[in-house]
């Protein structure tokens, strides 16, 4: 019995294996931390690519030669621009072509015209599967993002031209009237519209 007690006492005071024991106990949280870092880094890289894609979509859909911008120029009022939405979606898909490792839950473009301003807003939501975090009952990470771009339309001015091609106004109705206009113009230049008997209009500049 005394030998057993001495053996137990000796084991209790023996510290030669402490490093191995401490390392084994610390190994699990260390590996978990490394795994979390890897999963997070991978998710960050994919989110960056998705964000770049929606940035390109929002900018491209309101570019000066884009279908959405051209359609806005033909609108008589404010509102949504469906062709701009289609264009934004196509730009996003083109930029993400060949990129794997994620599940796209939604991508929502909206392109609208308000006054002289054309605005494009694109949002996305995606799920990225995890590797190491699955041990902690977190099999996927959700990433989201949004991008807004604005383009201003050029200022168009409507103007109207009224032309009287009848001789009733007494302006350049005959060759003599045209000569009189030329003679009384400092640069000797006159413009007249004549209505001939064959009902065809022509312009004469002397």
Q: What is the pLDDT of the chain when averaged over all its residues? A: 80
* pLDDT surpasses 90 at 58: yes
**Residue-range domain boundaries for the chain:** 17-152, 167-205
> Could you give phi then psi for residue 49, rounded to 5 degrees?
-65, -40
Mean pLDDT of 179-203: 59
Pairing of the two strands 140-152 and 117-129 = antiparallel
In this prediction the pTM is: 0.64
Mean pLDDT of 202-206: 44
Q: What angle do CA 88, 92, 94 make, to 5 degrees?
A: 115
Phi-psi region of 199 (alpha: psi -120 to 50; beta: other; left: phi over 0): left
Distances (CA, A) of 182 to 6, 120, 170: 134, 56, 15
Q: What pLDDT shows up at residue 35?
A: 77
Long-range CB pairs of 170-174, under 8 A, 24+ apart, other chains included: none
**pLDDT tens-digit map of 137-151:** 788 999 999 999 999
């Amino acid at each position: 019995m005394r030998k057993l007690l001495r053996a137990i006492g000796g084991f209790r005071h023996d510290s030669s294996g402490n490093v191995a024991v401490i390392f084994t106990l610390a190994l699990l949280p260390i590996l978990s931390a490394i795994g979390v870092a890897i999963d997070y880094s991978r998710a960050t890289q994919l989110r960056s690519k998705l964000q770049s894609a929606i940035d390109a979509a929002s900018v491209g859909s309101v570019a000066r030669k884009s279908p959405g911008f051209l359609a806005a120029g033909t609108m008589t009022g404010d509102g949504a621009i469906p062709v701009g939405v289609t264009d934004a979606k196509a730009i996003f898909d083109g930029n993400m072509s060949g990129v794997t490792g994620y599940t796209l839950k939604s991508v929502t473009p909206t392109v609208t015209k308000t006054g002289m301003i054309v605005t494009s807003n694109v949002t996305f939501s995606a799920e990225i599967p995890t590797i190491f975090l699955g041990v902690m009952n977190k099999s996927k990470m959700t990433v989201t993002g949004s991008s807004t771009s604005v383009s201003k339309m050029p200022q168009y001015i409507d103007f109207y031209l009224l032309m009287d091609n009848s001789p009733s106004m007494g302006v350049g109705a005959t060759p003599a009237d045209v000569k009189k206009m030329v003679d009384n113009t400092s640069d000797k230049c006159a413009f007249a519209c004549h209505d001939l008997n064959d009902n065809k209009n022509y312009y004469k500049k002397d």
